[in-house]
Chain A
Amino acid sequence: MADFDAIVVGSGMSGGWSAKELAERGLKVLVLERGPEILPERDYTDRLPPWERPNLDRVPQDEIAEHYPRQYGGVAYAIKETTKHFWVKDDEHPYEEAEGTSYDWLRGYHTGGRSIMWSRQAYRLGPQDFEANGREGVGVDWPVRYEDIAPWYDHVERFAGIAGSAEGLTQLPDGVFQPPFALTCAEEDFKARVEAAFPGRNVIPARVAHVTAATEEQRGLGRSNCRVRNRCEHGCVYKAYFSSLNATLPAAQRTGNLTMVHNAIVQSIDYDPATARVTGVRVIDAETRERRVYTARVIFLNASTIASAMILLQSTSESFPNGLANRSDQVGRNLMDHISGAGASGLMAGFEDKTVYGRRPGGIYIPRYANVTETEKPFRRGFGFQGSATPVSTTGGQLVGIGRAFKESHSAPGPWRVGIGAFGEQLPSPENRVTLHPSRRDKWGNPVAILNVTYGDNERIMMEEARKDAIAMLEAAGCTDIRSAEVELTRPGNRIHEMGSARMGRDPATSVLNGWCQAHDVPNLFVTDGSFMASSACQNPSLTYMAFSARAAKYAADLMADGTL
């Protein structure tokens, strides 16, 4: 008799969904979280006003050098004195990079994982994204199509709360939306000019996972509308933005079927060759070093793309000498992220007597047009732009003058600036991978990751073209003082959209998972974090992880109900 019906490894963006959906089906669910517990009332810092944040909210420089050199190097904007507890200490959680490569593995270990710190941009993949691999012969064909996942996007959007506008764009399908954060007057002007100059390009409000018209279900979970404070990286006492901690975990908890264990670092998964099933997970307690085994009928891996692949690789047996569910040798391969490093900004005249009120969570989005509405590009796939057009901030002290005039210049009418930056698709490559270090171990005795990811010509050419496009759109919008740095590709991992390390596909010989996120080799093992992605598309991926997690959980629960599992 197993301890639980299901074990979910990881409590972040996708793990919360797995737990919620399984628990709501009446299954007894254990969620294992490797980090400590986050208690919103104790650990959220969003209500601290600026004058109660010490030292301009800066983390001491010596502390950054000792504990956060990689994390801070990747996301300095998010690591503050009052948020640093949401990010791992690099010296406690080391990783290595293959010679000649560089990788930003940016993360937090605690209840909710990175769903607490994410940027909350939430977009559906479109039909083209599920068809491109097969059509182009790149990687493996997705075993699902947009129509398969569309109802699950509906399902997760309805629960999560997505502020967005219906635009009728094929490549970026509409969803179940709450009211969007309207475009600023300068963004409206930018939109009109860009869309007139470039038919086929669109400027729309960013779609963000923020409640703006709370439903009864959301209010029942203690969630309320976004207060437009822009304090999300500190947590949100209003639970207005979607996170596991704000939404899915409380929903799972209220079923009475959830058991949550913190500080439980999964070392491996046990496999029984007699039944060809996984039977449980082995963990070590992060604090006490105590080792335990939890058993269950079904296991969901939601540890995050790199960590889930590592757990599979660490789970060797006679049946799986190269790692659990890895007969295809694809576990850890095809690691992708999105790519940035191209953009532009410029001044927009005519709005000096206007300003905005509130600090909204998202700005504008320019959905992919390359190889959709515009063809004959010198690269495959495409990119979207994120950006905004707002009054130029003046509180950084970089205005000329002193005295009364200088002081009052901070509230005087001033210019507006529009800025856009590209997020591009990275093609899958089996050579881009995570492997286990042969000898180096972390302080819990687990192998350290070696990350080996490089970009190809397609990514480089794409970003050069994106930069040209950004400048052209700003010129079309009548901008002055256009600034655009030479393209400098972001380090792999820097967009914090890692995915693809256990891709889904139709053929067990070339893919790890089937279209239900179920391991080809092990029917009661599911992987529903970003690992399953067969291609990266260019949209922010979290919404897709949510939808596939919910769909996989329903599938698993059905198989358990009919006795198959």
Chain B
Amino acid sequence: MISRRTVIKNLVISVGGSSLLSACGGRVTLGAAPPGGSPRFYTEREIAVLSRVSDLLLPRTETPGALDAQVPSLLDQLMAEWASRETQDEHRTALAELDARLGARSAGDFLDATSAVAEQALIAVDRAAFSGEQIEGYRDLKGLITQAYFATEAGAEESQWVGVPGRWDPCMERS
């Protein structure tokens, strides 16, 4: 029987190892599509932007991050299979606007920005979006990335989700 840890380790290997995007100085081109596969919905640029944003939002720490959990490829599948044409268009528009905003704050192309610059750009956009500024689709996109992450086995471990609790404890100390 394969252990959860082994599965996660294999997932990590399948997308190329740790800190693939955020630590690289060069242009980011690799997404997190299934190994050997290409995106069904996103363009190469879209999935590269989505991957970098996902990695900045939920990086690998002591536990797997969004790329380890293959969140971009999950969203690619979601958009291809679940979303209506209208939702696809809205999502694409939101991603393009985010790309442009992040580019403007990166003094150029977001994908060419250093890790530090890219991080500061996303922090600024995120703060604005949670301070009442209308940033088309950003909070929805962040919600999708986060929900997709926590719905993976890696994310479930991060949130300490238990499939069969077996008992109810109505009041316990946080560990």
A211-240 vs B, Cβ < 8 Å mask (1 yes, 0 no): 000000000000000011100000000000
The answer, yes or no, to whether B169 is at the interface (CB within 8 Å) is yes
Whether the Cβ atoms of A228 and B166 lie closer than 8 Å is yes
Which residues of the partner chain B approach A402 to less than 8 Å between Cβ atoms? 56-57, 119, 122-123, 126
- In the assembled complex, the CB of A355 is this many whole angstroms from the nearest CB of chain B, namely 5
| Residues on the B chain within 8 Å of A199, using CB | none
Residue from B126, B158, B163 in contact with A49 in the complex, judged by beta carbons closer than 8 Å: B163
When the two chains form their complex, are residues B164 and A227 in contact, meaning their CB atoms are under 8 A apart? Answer: yes
- Chain B residues with CB under 8 Å of A356's CB are 168-172
Nearest chain B CB to A84 CB, angstrom units: 13
Please tell me if A77 contacts chain B, counting CB pairs below 8 Å. no
Q: Does B3 contact A (CB under 8 A)?
A: no
Interface segment out of the listed B13-21, B31-39, B104-112, B137-145? B137-145
**CB-contact partner of A359 in B84, B126, B165, under 8 A:** B165
Identity of the chain B residue whose Cβ is nearest the Cβ of A179 in the assembled complex: B168
Judge if B151 is at the interface, Cβ distance under 8 Å. yes
Asked if B61 lies at the interface with its beta carbon under 8 angstroms from chain A, I say yes
Interface string of B66-87 (1 = CB under 8 A from A): 0000000000011001111001
Check B164 against A51 for contact (C-beta < 8 Å): no
Within 8 A of B (CB), among A383-410: 395-398, 400-404, 406-408, 410
A397 touching B144 in the complex, CB below 8 Å, given contacts A50-B151, A51-B153? yes
Expressed in whole angstroms, the minimum distance between the Cβ of B65 and any Cβ of chain A is 8
Give the residues in chain B near A56, CB-CB below 8 Å: 78, 82, 147-148, 151
User: Inside 8 A of B173's CB, which chain A residues have their CB?
Assistant: 353-355
- Across the interface, which residues of B come within 8 angstroms of A354, CB to CB? 171-174
**Is the beta-carbon distance between A395 and B83 smaller than 8 angstroms?**
no
B165 & A404 in contact (Cβ 8 Å cutoff) = no
Q: Is A506 close to B, CB under 8 A?
A: no
Q: With A228-B166, A357-B165 in contact, do A60 and B172 touch (Cβ < 8 Å)?
A: no
A397 touching B168 by the CB < 8 A rule?
no
Cα of A62 to Cα of B82 in the assembled complex, Å: 8
Contact between B78 and A401, CB atoms less than 8 A apart: no
Knowing A227-B166, A396-B147 touch, does A355 contact B84 (C-beta < 8 A)? Answer: no
Question: B-facing mask of A46-63, CB < 8 A → 1, else 0?
Answer: 000111011110111110
Q: How far is the CA of A187 from the CA of B171 in the complex (A)?
A: 10
Determine if A184 and B156 form an interchain contact, defined as CB atoms under 8 angstroms apart. no
Which of A51, A187, A396 is within 8 Å of B156, CB to CB? Answer: A51
Among A61, A181, A353, contact of B170 (Cβ-Cβ < 8 Å): A181
Interface 1/0 per residue, B108-143 and A, CB below 8 Å: 000000000001001100110010000000010011
Query: B57–A185 contact, CB under 8 A?
Result: no
Q: Is the CB of B169 within 8 A of A358?
A: yes
- In the bound assembly, the distance between CA atoms of A410 and B58 in angstroms comes to 11
How far apart are B22's CB and chain A's nearest CB, in angstroms? 9
Residues on the A chain within 8 Å of B42, using CB: none
Please pick, from B57, B145, B165, the residue contacting A228 in the complex, using a CB distance under 8 A. Answer: B165
Q: Which residue of B lies closest to A181 (CB)?
A: B168
A54–B76 Cα distance when bound, in Å, is 12
Chain B residues near A61 (CB, 8 Å)? 82-84, 87
Known: A49-B163, A55-B81, A185-B170. A397 touches B147 (CB 8 A): yes
Residues of B close to A227: CB separation below 8 A: 164-166
Least CB distance from A525 to B in Å reads 44
Q: Which residues of B contact A398 (CB under 8 A)?
A: 139, 142-143
Give the chain A neighbours of B161 by CB distance below 8 A. Answer: 50
In the complex, the number of residue pairs spanning A and B with C-beta atoms less than 8 Å apart equals 135
A233 to B159, CA, bound (A): 22
Please tell me which one of the listed residues A54, A62, A401, A410 contacts residue B126 in the complex, with CB atoms under 8 A apart: A401
Q: Do B165 and A182 have beta carbons less than 8 Å apart?
A: no
Contact between A60 and B81, CB atoms less than 8 A apart:
yes
Q: Let me know if B29 is at the binding interface, CB within 8 A.
A: no
Q: How far is the CA of A402 from the CA of B139 in the complex (A)?
A: 12
Distance in angstroms between the alpha carbons of A397 and B158 in the assembled complex? 14
Q: Is the CB of B171 within 8 A of A410?
A: no
Q: Which residue of A lies closest to B79 (CB)?
A: A55
Is there contact, CB below 8 Å, between A182 and B151? no
Flag if A183 contacts B170 (CB, 8 Å): yes
Distance of A497 Cα from B76 Cα, bound (Å) = 40
Q: A358 — which chain B residues lie within 8 A by C-beta?
A: 165-169
Cβ 8 A contact of A410, one of B151, B158, B164 = B158
B59 x A404 contact (CB < 8 A):
yes
- Nearest to A403 among chain B residues (CB) is B59
> How distant is B68 from chain A, measured CB to nearest CB, in Å?
12
Residues of A within 8 A of B83 (CB): 60-61
Q: Is A65 an interface residue (CB 8 A)?
A: yes
A187 CA / B127 CA spacing, docked (Å) = 34
State whether the Cβ of A256 lies closer than 8 Å to any Cβ in chain B. Answer: no
Rounded to whole Å, the gap between the CB of B146 and the closest CB of chain A is: 3
Residues of chain A lying within 8 A (CB to CB) of residue B123: 402
- 8 A Cβ contacts from A339-383 to B: 353-360
Q: Could you tell me if B119 and A403 are in contact, using CB atoms closer than 8 angstroms?
A: yes
Interface status of A413 (Cβ within 8 A of chain B): yes
CA distance A397 to B75 in the complex (A): 15
- Is A411 close to B, CB under 8 A? yes
Measured in the bound complex, the distance between the Cα atoms of B161 and A403 in whole Å is 21
Q: Please, which residue of chain A has its CB at the minimum distance from the CB of B63?
A: A407
A24-42 interface bits toward B, Cβ cutoff 8 Å, 1 = contact, 0 = none: 0000000000000000000
Q: Quick one: which of A56, A187, A229 has the most chain B CB within 10 A?
A: A56
Name B172's contact: one of A50, A228, A355 (CB within 8 Å): A355
Partner of B164, one of A53, A183, A188, A229: A229
Which residues A66-100 have CB closer than 8 A to chain B?
A: none
A:232-253 near B, CB below 8 Å? none
| Cross-chain pairs A/B with CB under 8 angstroms, 9 sampled | A55-B82, A61-B83, A185-B170, A227-B165, A354-B174, A355-B174, A397-B142, A403-B56, A410-B158
The 3 closest A-B CB pairs, nearest first, are: A397-B146, A185-B171, A358-B165
B residues engaging A (CB < 8 A)? Answer: 56-59, 61, 63, 65, 77-78, 81-84, 87, 119, 122-123, 126-127, 130, 139, 142-148, 150-153, 156, 158-161, 163-174
**What is the interface of chain A, defined by CB distance below 8 A to chain B?**
49-51, 53-56, 58-62, 65, 181-185, 187-188, 227-229, 353-360, 395-398, 400-404, 406-408, 410-411, 413
A sample of 20 more A-B contacts (CB under 8 A), given A397-B144, A411-B159, is: A51-B151, A51-B156, A54-B77, A60-B83, A187-B170, A353-B174, A355-B172, A356-B169, A357-B172, A397-B143, A397-B145, A397-B146, A397-B147, A401-B126, A402-B123, A402-B126, A403-B56, A403-B59, A403-B119, A408-B61
